[in-house]
Amino acid sequence: MIKAGIIGATGYAGGELVRILTGHKDVEIQWFGSRSYIGKEYASVYQNMFQIVDAACMDDNMEELAEQVDVIFTATPQGFCASMMNENILSKVKIIDLSADYRIKDVATYEKWYGIEHKSPQFIEEAVYGLCEVNREDVKNARLVANPGCYTTCSILTAYPLAKEGLIDMSTLIIDAKSGTSGAGRGAKVPNLFCEVNENMKAYGVATHRHTPEIEEQLGYASGEKVVLNFTPHLVPMNRGILATEYAKLTKETTYKEVKAIYDKYYANEKFVRVLDRDIYPETKWVEGSNYADIGFKIDSRTGRIIMMGAIDNLVKGAAGQAVQNMNLMFGLKESEGLELVPMFP
């Protein structure tokens, strides 16, 4: 059995990690870390775990945890993992970080967009960006995986094949995305109160959202050019889900069959990416509670543009599910182990 520890187990992503790993036949959770609930029964924080998890929350001592487990998941705010990381820890245990601390290769870019000093930049180059469908082989040999962000996972997977094949003009790419409120975390914030969110939709982080450089960097690797794009997120009154609608100019005239063939080239054998049939467009409800990413597209011959659409569950494929997918690869397990979750409907 793989022994796992979770730091940040009482946040939404951490809670989803517990839910998924509890059903994973090859994993035993040893440590439910939560600075806010030390000594409190985990099932009293998440009552859905009553008589399922019989353990108390512990602190966030990564040095001590590294002596007890094989893998540590850090579902923590930006800066925590970087402040704890050292060679002694990495020599003993694999780390899957769900924050942004190791996602962006340029430390100056990270510090500019996140507004904090990076405490362990010496590990940035080693860290593997854990988008399994793109970096699978590198993930297998990694000690430190930077689990991608939720918006970024959806946005990158949706455009990646066309960026890689040079079919879209990257200078024209615009990403318009919507997320449920769980994407903002479990902390109490006035903008996330029911009365603020219900019967409402709003843009936020306009031209400043911190996932922007992550999307630009990864799609830059795919296209082989520097990418600068507009990314605008919106908050919608639902618990889970992300829908990204992306617009770009085509670099040449093309047909539905040609574009579909490109998507199939990259995703036909991917368990968790479903390219939908013609004129069927993704809906968040179709992926809720699952590790799937659904993708659809429409060529607009009138404008010479293509409209690409993707949907994921932000807490599963956008966070905990992807983290477990990375863990499976790192330990040589079946990649889908513990993740064959049928989407919930309605």
Structural domain includes residue 341:
no
Query: Tell me, what CATH number does 277's domain have?
Result: 3.30.360.10
Structural domain includes residue 66:
yes
Q: In percent, how much of the chain has pLDDT > 70? A: 100
CB atoms within 10 A of CB 302: 6
DSSP string spanning 293-344? Answer: EEEEEEEETTTTEEEEEEEE-TTIIIIIHHHHHHHHHHTT--TTTT--PPPP
195 among known catalytic residues:
no
pLDDT of residue 320: 98
CB atoms within 10 A of CB 232: 16
Structural domain includes residue 333:
no
Tell me how many degrees the CA angle 136-289-294 measures, rounded to the nearest 5.
Answer: 55
Q: Hey, CA dihedral for 77, 203, 212, 245, is it positive or negative?
A: positive
Interatomic CA distance for residues 32 and 53, integer angstroms:
10
Residue reference for tokens 């659809």:
296
Interatomic CA distance for residues 153 and 160, integer angstroms:
10
Verify that 44 and 112 share a domain, yes or no.
yes
Verify that 13 and 95 share a domain, yes or no.
yes
Interatomic CA distance for residues 146 and 174, integer angstroms:
25
Verify that 91 and 174 share a domain, yes or no.
no
Annotated catalytic residue, options 57, 132, 150, 154? 150
pLDDT of residue 192: 87
DSSP state of 219: H
Structural domain includes residue 326:
no
Contacts of 8 (CB under 8 A, 6+ apart): 14, 33, 34, 60, 73, 74, 75, 76, 80, 98
Structural domain includes residue 136:
no
pLDDT of residue 187: 83
At residue 313, what are phi and psi to the nearest 5 degrees?
-85, 120
Contacts of 245 (CB under 8 A, 6+ apart): 175, 176, 177, 307, 308, 309
Q: How many domains does the chain have?
A: 2
Structural domain includes residue 141:
no
Please provide the distance, in angstroms rounded to a whole number, between the alpha carbons at the two ends of the chain.
Answer: 35
Verify that 13 and 159 share a domain, yes or no.
no
pTM of the predicted protein model: 0.97
DSSP state of 276: P
Q: b vs e for 38-57, b when ≥16 Cβ sit within 10 Å of the residue's Cβ?
A: eeebbbebbeebeeebeebb
pLDDT of residue 188: 80
Verify that 175 and 59 share a domain, yes or no.
no
pLDDT of residue 58: 96
Cross-sheet strand order for the sheet of 71-74: 27-33, 2-7, 71-74, 94-97, 144-146, 128-129
Verify that 162 and 308 share a domain, yes or no.
yes
Structural domain includes residue 296:
yes
Helix then strand then coil, in percent of the chain rounded to 5, is 35, 20, 45
Interatomic CA distance for residues 120 and 83, integer angstroms:
7
Q: Hey, CA dihedral for 91, 107, 80, 3, is it positive or negative?
A: negative
- Residue span of the structural domain in which 260 resides: 151-314
- State which residues of the chain have pLDDT below 50: none
